Amino acid sequence: MDTHSRSFVKALSWRVTGTIDTMIISLVVTGSIKLAAAIGLTEVVTKSLLYYLHERAWLKIPYGRKAAA
């Protein structure tokens, strides 16, 4: 079972990747570095929290787990 800190670090590392992607897409669509950065910064906070909560919820769901030997 993952610790809370491990789930949090996993969430942050994934969000760095996702935020870079979002900022690049936002820059291409809007043409504005300032707007792309604002979108990326907002997205990193909200999606990090959602990912953490999603991971913790799935730890409570036994579906697909094998019993410990």
pLDDT-derived band at 39, boundaries 50, 70, 90: very high
DSSP, residue by residue, 2-64: --HHHHHHHHHHHHHHHHHHHHHHHHHHH--HHHHHHHHHHHHHHHHHHHHHHHHHHHT--TT
**Separation between Cα atoms, residue 3 and residue 60, nearest integer Å:** 13
**Separation between Cα atoms, residue 64 and residue 41, nearest integer Å:** 35
pLDDT of residue 24: 97
User: What is the rounded average pLDDT of the residues 39-67?
Assistant: 88
pLDDT at 1 over 90: no
